[in-house]
Amino acid sequence: MTPAMPTAVEMAVPTAIETASPAPATVPTPEQSLAARVNGQPILLADYEKQVAQFQAALSDQGLDLNSEEGQAALAQIRRQVLEAMINQLLTEQAAAREGIAISDEEVDSRVQADIQAVGDESKFDQWLADNNLTREDYRAILRSELIYGTMFERVTAAVPTSAEQVHVRYILLESEEEARNVLAQLQAGGDFAALARELSRDESTRESGGDRGWFPQGLDLMPPEVEVAAFALEVGQTSEVVASQFGYYILQLLERDPDRPLSPEMQQSLKEQTFARWLEEQRAAATIERLVETD
């Protein structure tokens, strides 16, 4: 089964590893309006509005009434996200240019041919482009930006470690502080942690395993921050005091600690995305960014 091509909207949606469509590299003519300038380089209003229109069409296709309060709120969010994504993309391309990174026509050609094969043939590919209001030139520009973004992502995150200190914990999550203190008293009197977790914990994902959360490192937001701090402060075999969080009241027990445990692929990717997001924030802080359209 051949994979479906992504929609134009999917290609434009930014995440830590996805790109928005590129801002124009050419100098705009006097009559061309701008959506933003990034270090003096323009983002054309027409390009910005085209991306917003793609999202707007997708929302309409999903049955959302764009004139409703919900629809207007969704459109305002889209306008903000599209503009910030285009700014991020341009900042990334500017950084790539400073480092001498360029994508050859041959690399773009290879990606285009792969995508043509994915949908079957050139006629189906051209129909897909037409359905998404894209020309081949548009698509090649999107691919080039995507390749630049991917290259910079790998360069910026090259030093991200593949292992880290991790702890293996189990916990009991209670709704009220009073309930948590009662359970802690039972544990201190010799109660069985796993049995109490199976009986009383509010966390359905760990309850059946006796509260076993498994291994996790610091800094990936896999646990509430207060709980993470408490977990890493414990000695092996030690049970925590009651730890309050926005989700309820935790009692933790540290089962194991490994100072250099391999990170799972998902953890590595999350760490890379956080690293790249911080790098982007540094680029934004150092840049001169002029936003020339209202997005609210």
Confidence of residue 67 (pLDDT cuts 50, 70, 90): confident
Q: State the pLDDT at residue 28.
A: 58
- pLDDT of 123 higher than 50: yes
Residue 52 in contact with residue 44, Cβ under 8 Å?
A: no
Round to whole Å and give the CA distance between 22 and 143: 9
Reported confidence tier of residue 30, pLDDT bands at 50, 70, 90: low
* Residue 273: band (very low, low, confident or very high) from pLDDT cuts 50, 70, 90: very high
pLDDT tens-digit series, residues 7-29: 333 443 333 324 455 544 455 55
CATH pick for 8-159+275-291 out of 1.10.4030.10, 2.70.98.40, 1.10.260.40, 2.60.40.10: 1.10.4030.10
Query: From CA 132, how far away is CA 257, in angstroms rounded?
Result: 51
Q: Is the confidence at residue 169, as pLDDT, over 50?
A: yes
Q: Give CATH for domain 164-262.
A: 3.10.50.40
Confidence of residue 32 (pLDDT cuts 50, 70, 90): low
* Predicted local distance difference test score (pLDDT) of residue 29: 58
pTM of the model: 0.78
End-to-end CA distance of the chain: give it in Å, rounded: 42
* CB neighbour burial string for 79-116, b if at least 16 within 10 angstroms, e if fewer: bebbbbbbbbbbbbbbbbeeeeeebeeeebeebbeebb
The predicted pLDDT at position 21 comes to 55
Neighbour-count burial of 6, counting CB atoms closer than 10 A to its CB (0-12 exposed, 13-18 middle, 19+ buried): middle
pLDDT digits (tens, 9 = 90+) for 221-258: 899 999 999 999 999 999 999 999 999 999 999 999 99
Share of the chain above pLDDT 70, in %: 89
Instruction: Quickly tell me which residue has 């482009």 as its tokens.
Output: 129
pLDDT averaged over the chain?
Answer: 89
Helix (H) or strand (E) holding 134: none
**Average pLDDT of the residues in 110-118:** 95
Q: How much of the chain is in helix, strand and coil states, percent to nearest 5? A: 50, 15, 30
Cβ proximity of 9 and 133 under 8 Å: no
How much is the average pLDDT of 263-272?
Answer: 95
The mean pLDDT value for 101-130 works out to 95
Cα distances (angstroms) measured from residue 99 to each of 46, 96, 117? 29, 5, 33
CA distance 260 to 273: 21
Pair of tokens at residue 158: 């090259």
Other Cβ atoms less than 10 A from the Cβ of 180: the count is 22
Report yes or no: 237 and 230 within 8 Å, Cβ to Cβ.
Answer: no
Is residue 135 packed enough to be buried (19+ CB in 10 Å), middle (13-18) or exposed (0-12)?
exposed
Domain regions of the chain by residue span: 8-159+275-291, 164-262
Please give the residue that has the higher pLDDT: either 135 or 10.
135
Query: How many angstroms separate the CA atoms of 191 and 57, rounded?
Result: 58
